[in-house]
Amino acid sequence: MSKHISGRGIYDLVPKDQKITGLEIGVDVGDTADYMLDNLPGLTLHGIDPYVGYVDWNGMDLNQKQRNWCEDAAENVLSQYGDRYILHKDYSDNIVDNFQDEMFDYIFIDGLHTYDQVLKDCENYYSKLKPGGVFAGHDYRAIEGVRKAADEFAAKVGATISETEIDVWYWIKP
């Protein structure tokens, strides 16, 4: 089965030959996390996902049984990375204060795809990114609310959005 690695385009934007720390909001089955950890031996990655049932941006009901399956799938693949992968099983809003400012070399937002939540994740986590770090997210073209939130936040901080493959938006923090 082919994996859907939504954050694959970020790989080309981060340093390859040094220790870096990343954050992924919205882990799901762990395909992006697995890809990044497998290809970046110096990466320590924090993932945030509450793994609770919810109704997605498009009205799809992702029930608790489905979310438990996703969590198990992620655990099965990501456990091989030991202490290089840290899962925070909670909502991103609840744990933002657990992270220091300028802690991360990249942040990838791929959690709840609503305008309000994407904007809140941008506002909550931008200070956690180091200068020169990659601030990014998924579904920029596919979901109007994501694009609107990313565009508004970029304008607020004076950033210009670029795009990579697989519908990823990003900019480099000055």
Question: Which of 49, 46, 45, 35 has the alpha carbon at shortest distance from 3?
Answer: 35
Q: What is the pLDDT of residues 30-78, one digit of tens each?
A: 999 999 999 999 999 999 999 999 888 888 888 899 999 999 999 999 9
Predicted confidence at residue 25, as pLDDT, reads 98
pLDDT for the residue numbered 36? 97
Cα–Cα dist 29/157, whole Å: 32
Looking at residue 65, its amino acid is K
Q: Please state the φ and ψ torsions of residue 78, each to the nearest 5 degrees.
A: -90, -15
**pLDDT in 10s for each residue of the chain, 174 residues:** 456 788 888 999 999 989 999 999 999 999 999 999 999 999 999 999 999 998 888 888 888 999 999 999 999 999 999 999 999 999 999 999 999 999 999 999 999 999 999 999 999 999 999 999 999 999 999 999 999 999 999 999 999 999 998 899 999 999
In a 13 Å sphere around the CA of 22, the CA atoms on its Cβ side amount to 35
CATH code: domain 18-172 is: 3.40.50.150
For residue 72, the one-letter residue type is: D
3-state secondary structure of 21: strand
DSSP assigned state of 134: E
Quick check: pTM over 0.85? yes
* Strand ranges inside 26-103, DSSP E: 43-48, 54-55, 61-62, 85-88
Sort 22 into a burial class: Cβ within 10 Å, 0-12 / 13-18 / 19+: buried
